[in-house]
Every structure is written in structure tokens, then in C-alpha cells.
Structure 1
Amino acid sequence: MAIGANSAVAGPDADTLAQIREHALSGNLAFELVESLTTEVGPRLAGSEGDARAQDWAEARMKSLGFDKVWREPVEIPHWKRRHERATVLGEYAQSLHISALGHSIGTGGPIAAEVVELADLAALKAIEDDRLNGKIVFVNHRMTRAINGAGYSIAGDIRSQGPSEAAKRGAIAFVMRSAGTDSHRFPHTGNTKRLEGVHVIPSAALSNPDAEQLHRLLKRKPDLQLQLDIDVGFDGTTTTHNVIGEISGRVPGSGIVVLGAHLDSWDNGTGAVDDGAGIAITMAAAAKLIERGQRPRRSIRMIAFAAEEVGLLGAKAYAKDNAQLMERHVVGMESDFGAGSIYAIQTSARGTALDALQPLFDALAPLDIAFAEGGYGPGPDILPMRDDGVPWFALKQNGIDYFDVHHTADDTLDKIVPQALPQQVAAYALATWFMADSQIELRAPADL
């Protein structure tokens, strides 16, 4: 359908928003897209062959859905590979444990073995000032709590990102942690760790939650228990991946850019259905539903399939840097990166009169059982670099009560998505996107505030 012109007002009227909502609820393009991505491409670790095929997939899909422009922007990344990972309890209780190396870990260079020191959390690790960890394997056994908004992930994520370096500072030869997950299956949760400048890097891995319990019980029986690790992972130079961008061109040049998106890469153990194939499908379908209506928005809309999110938001950082001259024209950013659960709230950086101007949007979202919620920690992770450059944001909050059951595991597969839940999310993103794109509303705080 050809895109034509329509009249501009401060914001779209209620009838237009209702039409957008009902059209976006029709069919299930989002499920078709996530089924295609996870079946035809599968795992998409940044820099891998699967990642390259995912970029081809995204570009081809955007073109077929009718975006005015589709292009790629290069992102240079360190190329990290996983080959194998094994953990074995030695001695009278000998047995294998299920582990997954953390992203950007180094390998062990063959099997290594040492006594295990169990600690309750990151604070307990940071409190150690003597040499009791010297030559040992540190085991942090913190149980992540379940919450609709995933609040427990902040603590568990800090353990994953900071724990290896804190253990290395204190002389440990390796680091293992209870998975940052809420399930009770023998699927360890991977995820990226950080390297602190000037700190020796040590091998690091996550135990599945049942295996963390098993190791805890074994250490009760034998405090000097030894664990053998054989982890073959590491860097293989640098490589180039890409942000894939599709644009619906606005009818008023220079009037602004509305960004919605998700990250295209995934970890290598599952097929990245929940994290973040669902987000790619939801936001791509939302943009496609707007194209289908045949009306051109005042401002341009960019759907961005961000690269290399899992390994440090590298695509998002590159986008903000490469488009620095355009950041003032980015009127709002939003990202779907919390699985496939229904949206229950919208949060925003807008305040004062800017927030008041959003009331018609909140009214249009209400029939979808989405309410405005004060506060909020911020937008999706790939919007953070833009936010730091002053770009306002929306956060469409999904029900993530079971999100961390499969997050970063081999169990992140298409069957975990409930197809009937997706149209509601497509409609929400379509409404939020069109409301800002076909308006003159500004969400940035005045410079004198």
C-alpha cells in the first residue's frame, strides 16, 4: 500500500489512535517473524555465522515489509568464541556439574583444579581482605528472586559482571556463580562479564541452579572439596557486525526521528526466541502495521535491530556515536527486550507539561490494560546510550515473572512464547510510535530547567 500524506496536529486524535490499535491487534505478524528468525537462523552470537545470517534476514524482512529505506551500520567488536566447558567434582563425591562459561571469559588452558570457597553474595566477596581466596575457586551462591519486573536481576547481574574481577583481585584462580535465573532446571544461564583495567582475568562460569544447590550440599559434607574446570573459550581477534535499520520517512524533513527496536544478537546456547527474537518481532511488526495503514507520519520512524547487545551494548553505543549529529533530532526511543509477556504499564522520562501532553496516548493504551506508572529505572538497554545523550524515552513494561526461567539458557526457544500474547504488545508499540511520530510534541525538558 502506498504511503500518502495526512494532516498534522499537536498529536493524533482519539479516533486515529483507536484505528491504529485495532489494526495492530489483527493477525499475528509478530509470531510469524519470531518463528522465522528462530527457525531459519537460530542462535546469533555476535560475530558468528548465525549473526551474519540474522543481519541478512532482518534486511530482507524490512524491505519486504515496505520500509522506505533499509541500511546497515558497521560495529567493530571483539570476537569471542565458546568451544567447550566442563566442571567435575573430584574425590569421593566425584560427579559432573552443568556450567556455562560467562561471555568474555578466558579459558582454563586445559583442566585446572582447586578447593572451592563458597560465599553468599558480592558484598561477602568484596569484604574479604586477607589471602584466604589465594589459589582457590570462588563460588558465589546467591539465589535470584522472582518478580514481575525482574528486579532481582540487578543483584544477580552485578555478581556476574563484577564477581570474576573481584575474585581475581583476591588471588582466586577461577570464579563460578549460581546462575542469574529463577528456574530449577539444569540449564546454566550465561551472560557477559566485565574486565576491570589492571585486574588479572580468570576463567568464569555459571552453574545451573540445581547444580549450585548440589555443590552447596557437597561443601557442607566436605569443606575442602576440589572442583576441576575445563573451559575452552576466548577471543579470536576482532570482527565486524552491523546494526540493521529500517526507516519510514517523515513527511516533514528535519522534524525528528522516533526510534523503536530490539537487539538482533543472542547467546549461542538457545535460539534467542525470548531474548530477544520476540522484541525484534514485536517492534518490526509494529512498524509494519503502521506502514500498512498507508499514512505517512510527520516525523521519521526508525526500527533498529541492534547488534552485539549481549556482549556490552556495542551496537547501541556505536549507533549513538555514529549518529551523534542527529541525537538532538531523536524525539524518543523505546526498546522491547524483556521477552514475550504482556505489557502492563508505560513509563517515560517526560515530566511536567510534556507528560501532560501524553495523556491521549495513555488513554489509547488503557483498553489494552496498560496503565501509566510513575518512576521507572529507565528504558531498554539499547536506548541507554541515546538517553545519556539527552534523548527522551518510553519504557513499555512487560510481565516478566517467568522471563528469567529461560533467559540466557539453552531453553530459550520458540515454544516458550505464547503467540496470543504478542498482538497486544505490537499494538502498544504501534500506538506509542505513531503518537510521537505524527505530532509536534516535544518530551525534552527546556534548557533552562
Structure 2
Amino acid sequence: MECQIFHCGTRYMNSEIDQRVVNEIFSASQAWENMQVLTDDIGSRLAGSCGEVAARDFIAETLDLYGVDEVNVEPFPHLGWECKGEELRVVDPVHRDILCCCAGLSPAADRLEAELIFLKKCDLEEVEARREELRGKIVVAPYHPVPRQVKMPIAAAAGAVALLEARSVAGGLQPARTCAFNRIGDIPTASISREDSDYLQRLAKRKGSVRLRLSLESVIEWQTSWNVVGLIRGREIEQEYVALGGHYDSWHVGSGAVDNGTGVVAVLEAARGLAQHKEHLRRGVRFIFFGVEELGLVGSWAYVHQHVNELDHAVLMINNDVGGRPIRLISAGFEGVRPLLSGVAQRARVDGIESPLDVEVGNPGWASDHFPFWAHGVPTAAIGCDQVDPNAGRYVHTPADTADKVYVAGLTECAAINAQLVCAFANAPLRPAPRKRREEMELLLDKFAWRQTLDTLSAWPPEALLARYFNGVPGRSVDSA
């Protein structure tokens, strides 16, 4: 049974310290400057690149400058990937080159030729119904609604020889995306633009069978990446902590401003404000900047692997991924956190929004860095954001995800809300929600209808994924909660 929140919890949320932290963030925000350093000065931060190392060092140095109690850089292994070449050509009934973008962790394709076939979703139901048609074909399927790393194994199991994922919106861009989680994909995979997908469909309608030639070249090898962790020690309850994090890697094609420079700078700015008043935090805070999120949430899985014996002390994990204008607070099935979330929602300062932010206790998805914590029964939360520029979210994972797409005011607003959440949960008189047992998480898994997807990804149960990711790698434990 989840713990009850007493009315005195409101006193902690509305404390003078909470307001001092928020005022500090709004009055002297460094979020936009940090965004420009991360995206304009450093740029692309693909795992294994010089940009990743530069971002790691920038984050660690900034945390130290802001005055947190301790900064640690924690290494972990991962399967690294670098694209060396990509080429797609129509070879029949016409000859025409088409731009493509090799998927992360895609196997090589050496002038692979095959007829194409179009699918509407490439989910299990559609593939099963058309299984005989798929064998030996190159599948073309839209970006949404099925993730690429789910489409790829489904298509491969049906005998397809390659997958081309077509961008769902116009703009002539080919989005980067992994085709597998920390393993080499089953079939060569790449993306094409919406416009080129439409062209191929028109060509097939006019001419009949269309044949493509695909060449992909990558370097895939084991590498080391890092999580950067800043600590503020609790002044009263030393073992317990609130985790506040987001991933700092990006794809090779661009600077990753919205995804996820916004999350990085919102956490950094929250750290700056909280460090000014750290002596008033009853519980500790861990500011965690995850590496290698884009290739399979590897950094966040590494963190829970390396710190599994400390997860009982985690009061809440707050994830920041793809910022904008904050409009809601979300938790994944932990009703006990709702009162504290509601208190922060009532007092959040967001330009243009007079009423309290919405609060949802529901399904936040499995594809971001909260999930490894959630999978171990740790309560999680996130700030749900809207894109003020309706096109901004369309540019993630492309060269167009640049700093000019960022809603600048939202960086500071999200930072302040992060700090308010930390203050609320770090200073609550009682833990708002206990860590859930495995059987409880299994029930939520079915409630959210995640099981089939996680089975396809080989991402459940957590100890099996951890063994696959870090087999033979020293760690404290890979036992389930």
C-alpha cells in the first residue's frame, strides 16, 4: 500500500526556500547560454564522438562551478556505431538516386537489390497478414506509429531483406534513429524522406514493380561512454535521494537542440538554483546526465546496474527529454506522488498559462531514461511540454534540430519546475510512494499494454536486459527488485 501524504507536505512545497530557489533561477538563468555552448559550440554529440566527450566535460565542469557537493563521471560499456557510407538507388523501372540515412546499429548492406513493398504500419498484425508478400522484399513503412526498433525485428522475422522508414511529415529530411537497442540489427535499415516515399509510391502505381539497390557501411564496436552525476547530500535523511536527469547525447546528423539539449540545460539550471540553497534540502539530490540514450537507453540502464543496491533509497526519478513550454506533470502509475505533483502544478510559473498545470498519473511511454528506474519499481515523473513552434518537434533527429527551434523561455520554466519538484520531494515529511514490487510492475506493464513491444525489444524482464547489455561487466548486481 502506498504511503499517505499529510497536509503538512503542502507546507514544505510552499516554503520560503522553494521560492528562493525559483527566484534565483528566473532572475539569473544561464539556461540559454548553456544551450548555445552545447549545441552551437559543441554540436553533434553522438556516442563515441569527440562531441560527446566535450559535452561530458562541459557538464561536469559546469556542475562543479555551480557548487554541488560532488561530481562523478561514471564509465560504462556500450555497442558504438558510426556511419561510413549510405547509398540508395532506384534501379528498375528507372534509374534515380534517393537520399537515405543509415539507422544506428544497422548491419551493412553491400549493393543489396530487391523489390520494394509498402506497409501502412509494419506492426505484428499487418506483417502476419502479408507475410508471404514480404519475403525477399525491401519494406517501406512510415515513421509513425510503430518505432523503428520495433518494426525492424518484425519485418526481419517475416523474411524482409531491408527496412526503409519514411518520415511521416514533409520537409525533405531523413531522420536518424536506431534500429535496435544495444545490439546489431537483424536487417539493413535506413530512413528516407516523406517526399521520396511518396515518389516511390507514385512510381509503383504508374510502373508496377519497383526495384531498389541499397548500400550501407558502418563501424560497430564496443566503446566506453559516461554518465555525469552531480550530488547534493541530504542534510537530514542522508541515504534517500531525488534523481533529476536527462540524456546529453544526440545523433550524428545535427546538434540535438530540442532533443535533448533542452533537457540537459533544464537540469543544469535546476542544479544551479538548488546548489545556492542546498543546506535546506532534507534528502539528497542526484543530477544525472545520461550517455547513449539514443542507442537504447544504455546510460540509464548502466546507472541502475551500477547503483542497484541504492534504488531502495530513490524517492523519485524526474526525467527531462525534449523540452518546450511546460503544460503538465506526469507520473507512470504511482498515485502516491499525485498530491506533491499537484502542489507544484498549482504554483508553476509558465508564461501564458494562468491555470495550474495538468497532472496525469498514467502512461509516459517506455522509450526514455525514466524507464530503467520505472522497471525497477522506482517512482518516476516528467514534465510534459508543448512545442510553441509547431514545427520544432518535427525536426528532432535531423540536421534541422538547432538552437533556433528552442522555446527559450521554456528552458528556465522547466528548470524552475524541476527545482520545485526536487524541493517538494526532498523535503516531504514522509516518502510519498514506496518502491513497487515486481508483481506490481507486471500489472502496470499489462495496464499500459507494453508487454508485446518490450518482448519484441528483448527489454523485459530488466535483469535479462541488463545481462545482455553488461554481461561479464563488473557491477554491483543485475538482480531484479
What is the TM-score with the length of structure 2 in the denominator? 0.81
- 1:361 pairs with 2:326: no
Distance (Å, rounded) in 1 between the aligned partners of 2:258 and 2:54: 19
- 1:163 pairs with 2:151: yes
Match of 1:147 in 2: none
Match of 1:327 in 2: 311
Match of 2:447 in 1: none
Match of 2:290 in 1: 306
Distance (Å, rounded) in 2 between the aligned partners of 1:242 and 1:216: 43
Match of 1:278 in 2: 262
Asked whether the equivalents of residues 133 and 170 of structure 1 are also in contact (C-alpha less than 8 Å), the reply is: yes
Task: Tell me which moved more, 289-298 or 250-259.
Answer: 289-298
- 1:239 pairs with 2:226: no
Asked whether the equivalents of residues 48 and 80 of structure 2 are also in contact (C-alpha less than 8 Å), the reply is: yes
Task: Tell me which moved more, 410-419 or 359-368.
Answer: 359-368
Match of 1:149 in 2: none
Distance (Å, rounded) in 2 between the aligned partners of 1:95 and 1:279: 40
AA partner of residue 240 (structure 2):
G
Match of 1:184 in 2: 170
Map residues 139-150 of structure 1 onto 2, 5 A cutoff: 139-140=140-141, 142=142, 144=144
Match of 2:179 in 1: 193
Distance (Å, rounded) in 2 between the aligned partners of 1:195 and 1:422: 29
Distance (Å, rounded) in 2 between the aligned partners of 1:172 and 1:11: 57
Asked whether the equivalents of residues 333 and 362 of structure 2 are also in contact (C-alpha less than 8 Å), the reply is: no
Asked whether the equivalents of residues 234 and 282 of structure 2 are also in contact (C-alpha less than 8 Å), the reply is: yes
Relative to structure 1, the CA distance from residue 10 to residue 331 in structure 2 (aligned partners, 3 Å threshold; closer, same or farther) is farther
Segments of 4+ moved more than 6 angstroms: 446-449
TM-superposed CA distance for 1:447, in Å, is: 7.7
Q: Which runs of 5+ in 2 are unaligned?
A: 1-8, 441-481
Map residues 347-426 of structure 1 onto 2, 5 A cutoff: 347-349=330-332, 355-365=338-348, 369=353, 370-378=356-364, 381-400=368-387, 401-426=390-415
Match of 2:467 in 1: none
Distance (Å, rounded) in 2 between the aligned partners of 1:143 and 1:59: 35
TM-superposed CA distance for 1:95, in Å, is: 2.0
Distance (Å, rounded) in 2 between the aligned partners of 1:118 and 1:258: 47
Distance (Å, rounded) in 2 between the aligned partners of 1:42 and 1:166: 34
TM-superposed CA distance for 1:399, in Å, is: 0.7
List per-residue Cα deviations over 1:282-304 (Å, max 9, x = no partner).
11111111223464411111111
Task: Tell me which moved more, 248-257 or 29-38.
Answer: 248-257
Match of 2:452 in 1: none
TM-superposed CA distance for 1:96, in Å, is: 2.0
Which gives a bigger RCO, structure 1 or 2 (Cα 8 Å, sep 6+)? 1
What is the TM-score with the length of structure 1 in the denominator? 0.86
Distance (Å, rounded) in 2 between the aligned partners of 1:296 and 1:18: 12
Distance (Å, rounded) in 2 between the aligned partners of 1:333 and 1:103: 27
Relative to structure 1, the CA distance from residue 376 to residue 9 in structure 2 (aligned partners, 3 Å threshold; closer, same or farther) is closer
Distance (Å, rounded) in 1 between the aligned partners of 2:268 and 2:385: 17
TM-superposed CA distance for 1:325, in Å, is: 1.0
AA partner of residue 109 (structure 2):
T
TM-superposed CA distance for 1:404, in Å, is: 3.5
Distance (Å, rounded) in 2 between the aligned partners of 1:326 and 1:247: 14
AA partner of residue 35 (structure 2):
V
AA partner of residue 208 (structure 1):
S
Map residues 213-224 of structure 1 onto 2, 5 A cutoff: 213-224=198-209
Distance (Å, rounded) in 2 between the aligned partners of 1:390 and 1:115: 46
Aligned length: 422
Distance (Å, rounded) in 2 between the aligned partners of 1:366 and 1:290: 17
Asked whether the equivalents of residues 334 and 383 of structure 1 are also in contact (C-alpha less than 8 Å), the reply is: yes
AA partner of residue 206 (structure 1):
S
Relative to structure 1, the CA distance from residue 17 to residue 60 in structure 2 (aligned partners, 3 Å threshold; closer, same or farther) is closer
Match of 1:427 in 2: 416
AA partner of residue 258 (structure 2):
V
AA partner of residue 361 (structure 1):
V
Map residues 29-44 of structure 1 onto 2, 5 A cutoff: 29-44=30-45
Relative to structure 1, the CA distance from residue 328 to residue 445 in structure 2 (aligned partners, 3 Å threshold; closer, same or farther) is closer
Relative to structure 1, the CA distance from residue 43 to residue 251 in structure 2 (aligned partners, 3 Å threshold; closer, same or farther) is same
TM-superposed CA distance for 1:92, in Å, is: 5.1
Distance (Å, rounded) in 2 between the aligned partners of 1:200 and 1:291: 43
TM-superposed CA distance for 1:406, in Å, is: 0.8
Distance (Å, rounded) in 2 between the aligned partners of 1:437 and 1:118: 51
